[in-house]
Structure 1
Amino acid sequence: MTQKATVVDTYQTTPRVRAFRLRVPDYTFEYEPGQHTTIRFKSGDKKVVRPYTPTNLPGSDELALTIKRYDDGLASSYMHQKRPGDTVQIGPIEGALTLADPTRDVAFLASGTGLTPMMAMLRQYLREGSGHVHLILGEKREETLIHRETLNELAANHPSLDVTFVLSDPNWEWTGRIGYVQEHLEELFGTDSERDYYVCGVPPMVVQTKDRLAELGVSDERIYSEGWEDSVVAGE
């Protein structure tokens, strides 16, 4: 089922990323945190359908989306032109990346806008979970870290949450971790094979992170991702 949603707010979060609040009046969104909707529109004769993941929890008439603009991205350019009062067509909410067991310790491993499904799952875990959660976000530079303030505030208010940022191309003032998420797993988690690991980002990051976790002794049943990334990387 597709629906018409109204943009009620939008604001810039980083130089290339905007946040959007979409509302469907008199409707309640029900979904598993981590699942995605789609933005649907026509570009000439072409029908465009692109997935985006709500960062908010279900149970209201709104979806919060975080969208990075790409120079050659039809959907991201289309959305970045939207302003409050505009409408967009959205598809049903679905997807395989959801929280499996809130009673277990978990790690959310993300790069870039791969953070978006993690935000909703993190909020669910902080509400329902009973263990420890560690979120690691990889980005290129400090100014491109999305939801940084929100994550720091959540960590300050929840002793069970640790947040780590990893930058691949930081400026000289950066004192945090440098490199890529997958390069820090052993130091941060050792051989913790009992924790559940959720991975989302560009396909090479997802594949390399899953491979590194396997090298550290984490079984496949403890690693969760969307599942399509391996075939993308294999086809490169």
Structure 2
Amino acid sequence: MTDTHEVTVMSVYQMTPNVKQFVLESDDYTFDFSPGQHTHIHFEQDGEEVVRPYTSTALPGHEKITLAIKRYPDGTASTWMHDRDPGDTVEIEELGGNLHIRNLDSDVAFVSTGTGITPMMAMAKQYVNEGSGHAHFFFGEKDEEHIIYRETLDQMATENDDFDVTYVLSEQSWAGDEGHVQEHLSDYLDDFGSRDFYVCGVPQMVVETEDVLKDEGAGEDRIFSEGWEGDEVSGEE
């Protein structure tokens, strides 16, 4: 049986029309993990145990983790989590998974869509604090209203000369880039063979991004990805 920790919902913040941020705190346990890794929440519904993965956007070494969770119309776990209030308790696992920074001295690019941004936020925070190269953060969403962590990312870019951010919108005309995020990587990067890439989003986006990266000269050993489909996650080396 998987070991779990009971955490208390300390705060809930509505980030976008369908994404809430939850701060979860343990009374006596300090979370130790690599930024970008995810936990699993456990709960019972209709006599069945439900287990779903979510990534902490907070850094390790504290008794708190932060989850940004998108509510899906038919999502069992996302609906359950969106019904949680401060003071409620939640059972979560240790954090693990494929997405974590391999080399803090390498230039990197983070490429994500939707709530695939959550592991990227944790890794980007770590890279800004500890990395020695250049980072470019690419994020694709359907419109401006649904961009989460925009203020944080813009501030990180303003305060760090070696950290750039590019937003790409697929369903809104605006002054920035439009279409799919993977279509714009070569507009900003010309060092595909010497940069590490971290990719997270729906599986189709992940596959298409990997194809683009390989076509541009990125080595398979420098592409690290996870595909998220609703409440599910799958990892690739």
TM range (shorter): over 0.9
Cα distance in 2 for residues equivalent to 1:228 and 1:155: 26
Cα–Cα, structure 1 residues 216 and 103, in superposed 2: closer, same or farther, change >3 Å?
same
Partner in structure 1 of residue 10 of structure 2: 8
Partner in structure 2 of residue 180 of structure 1: 180
Partner in structure 1 of residue 195 of structure 2: 195
TM-score by length of 2: 0.93
CA offset at residue 226 of structure 1? 2.8
CA offset at residue 96 of structure 1? 1.2
Residue by residue over 1:72-117, the C-alpha shift from the partner in whole angstroms, topping out at 9 and shown as x without a partner, is 0010000001111011111121111110000000000000100000
TM-score by length of 1: 0.94
- Structure 2 unaligned regions, length at least 5: none
Partner in structure 1 of residue 215 of structure 2: 215
CA offset at residue 54 of structure 1? 0.2
SS at match of 1:78: helix
Cα–Cα, structure 1 residues 110 and 228, in superposed 2: closer, same or farther, change >3 Å?
closer
1:23 aligns with one of 18, 22, 25: 25
Of all paired residues, the percent bearing the same amino acid is 52
SS at match of 1:143: helix
CA offset at residue 147 of structure 1? 0.6
- Give the number of the structure whose residues are more often strand, by fraction: 2
Residue by residue over 1:121-148, the C-alpha shift from the partner in whole angstroms, topping out at 9 and shown as x without a partner, is 1111111100000000000011000111
Runs of 4+ residues deviating >6 angstroms: none
Cα–Cα, structure 1 residues 206 and 108, in superposed 2: closer, same or farther, change >3 Å?
same
Cα–Cα, structure 1 residues 191 and 158, in superposed 2: closer, same or farther, change >3 Å?
closer
Cα distance in 2 for residues equivalent to 1:154 and 1:191: 22
Cα distance in 2 for residues equivalent to 1:2 and 1:18: 23
CA offset at residue 190 of structure 1? 3.0
CA offset at residue 45 of structure 1? 2.2
Cα–Cα, structure 1 residues 38 and 140, in superposed 2: closer, same or farther, change >3 Å?
same
CA offset at residue 193 of structure 1? 1.2
User: RMSD between aligned alpha carbons?
Assistant: 1.6
Partner in structure 1 of residue 120 of structure 2: 118
SS at match of 2:193: coil
SS at match of 2:138: strand
Partner in structure 2 of residue 61 of structure 1: 63
SS at match of 1:193: helix
Cα distance in 2 for residues equivalent to 1:200 and 1:25: 31
SS at match of 1:50: strand
CA offset at residue 191 of structure 1? 4.9
CA offset at residue 192 of structure 1? 2.6
CA offset at residue 228 of structure 1? 8.9
SS at match of 2:157: helix
